[in-house]
Amino acid sequence: MKHLVLCLKYAGLILLCFPAESQNIISLNLGPFYKSEKIALGESLSTPDSLTLHQLRFYLGHFTFYQNNAAILEDKNYHLFDLEEASTLNLTFNLPQNATFDSLAFNLGVDSLTTASGAMGGDLDPTQGMFWTWQSGYINVKMEGFSKKCPARNGEFQFHLGGYLPPYAANQRVELKTGGNSENLLLTLDLAPFFEQVNWVDKHNVMSPGAEAVRLSGILAKSFAIHAQ
Amino acid sequence: MGALLMLLSAAQRPGPEPAVLQYPKNWPAPRYDFSRNPLTREGIELGRRLFYDPVLSRDSTLSCAGCHLSFTAFAHVDHALSHGIQDRIGTRNAPALANLAWAQAFMWDGAIQHLDFQALAPISSPTEMDHSIQKIVEKLNASPRYPALFEAAFGTRKATGERVLKAMAQFELTLISAGSKYDRMMAGTDTFSRQEQNGYAIFQKNCASCHAEPFFTNFSFEKNGLPLDTMLRDYGRMRITQNPADSLRFKVPTLRNIEFSYPYMHDGRFRKLRDVVNHYAQTTALDRPLELSANEKTDLVAFLLTLTDRAFLFNPDFSFPKE
In tens, the pLDDT along B146-186 reads 999 999 999 999 999 999 999 999 999 999 999 999 999 99
What residues pair up with A56 in beta bridges, in sequence order? A143
Average pLDDT, chain A: 91
Is-contact B277 B301, C-beta < 8 A? yes
Lowest mean per-residue pLDDT among A47-61, B7-21, B120-134, B155-169: B7-21
- What pLDDT sits at residue B13? 56
Domain(s) labelled CATH 1.10.760.10 in chain B stretch across 7-177, 181-310
A12, pLDDT greater than 60 = no
Contact A118 B112 (CB under 8 A): no
| CA–CA distance, A222 with A216 (Å, rounded to integer) | 10
| CA–CA distance, B42 with B154 (Å, rounded to integer) | 8
The C-alpha R_g of chain A, in whole angstroms, comes to: 21
| CA–CA distance, B110 with B219 (Å, rounded to integer) | 9
| Cis-peptide, bond into residue A167, ω within 30° of zero | yes
CA separation, residue A12 to residues A17, A22, B1, B4, B79 (Å): 9, 15, 18, 17, 68
Distance (Å) from the alpha carbon of B224 to chain A's nearest alpha carbon: 23
Averaged pLDDT for residues B114-121: 96
User: Looking at the complex, does the CB of residue A94 fall below 8 Å from at least one CB of chain B?
Assistant: no
The two beta strands, A184-190 and A25-34, are: parallel
With pLDDT > 70 as the criterion, what percentage of chain B qualifies? 96
Per-residue pLDDT tens digits for A71-127: 999 999 999 999 999 999 999 999 999 899 999 999 999 999 999 999 999 999 999
Largest distance between two CA atoms of chain B: 83
SS3 A218: helix
Nearest to A1 among B1, B114, B165 (CB): B1
Residues of chain A neighbouring B234 (CB-CB closer than 8 A): none
The enclosing H or E element of A56 equals: strand A52-67
| CA–CA distance, B73 with B310 (Å, rounded to integer) | 9
Nearest to B133 among A4, A127, A165 (CB): A127
| CA–CA distance, A128 with A109 (Å, rounded to integer) | 14
Phi, psi of B201 (to 5 degrees): -65, -40
Extended beta strands in chain B, E state:
221-223, 249-251
Is-contact B299 B244, C-beta < 8 A? no
- What pLDDT sits at residue B82? 83
Nearest to B120 among A1, A133, A168 (CB): A133
| CA–CA distance, B299 with B59 (Å, rounded to integer) | 46
Instruction: Assign domain B7-177 to its CATH superfamily.
Output: Cytochrome c-like domain (1.10.760.10)
What ipTM score was computed for the predicted complex, to two decimals? 0.85
Per-residue pLDDT tens digits for B188-204: 999 999 999 999 999 99
| CA–CA distance, B59 with B196 (Å, rounded to integer) | 47
| CA–CA distance, B81 with B67 (Å, rounded to integer) | 10
pLDDT bucket at B90, cuts 50 / 70 / 90: confident
SS3 A229: coil
Estimate the share of chain B in helix, then strand, then coil, as percent rounded to the nearest 5: 45, 5, 50
Nearest to B111 among A1, A4, A135 (CB): A135
| Angle of the B273-282 helix axis to the B294-304 helix axis, nearest 10 | 130
Tell me the residue type at B240: I
A9, pLDDT greater than 90 = no
Q: How many CB pairs under 8 A join A and B?
A: 74
Distance (Å) from the alpha carbon of B184 to chain A's nearest alpha carbon: 34
Average pLDDT, chain B: 93
Range of the structural domain that residue A139 is part of? 2-228
DSSP-derived letter for residue A109 is S
Residues of chain A neighbouring B237 (CB-CB closer than 8 A): none
Q: Which CATH class is domain B181-310?
A: mainly alpha
Residues of chain B neighbouring A137 (CB-CB closer than 8 A): 113
Is-contact B286 B237, C-beta < 8 A? no
Phi, psi of B211 (to 5 degrees): -95, 65
Residues of chain A neighbouring B33 (CB-CB closer than 8 A): 117-118
| Angle of the B161-173 helix axis to the B133-142 helix axis, nearest 10 | 90
Contact B117 A118 (CB under 8 A): yes
Closest-CA residue of chain B to A167: B241
Count of domains observed in chain A: 1
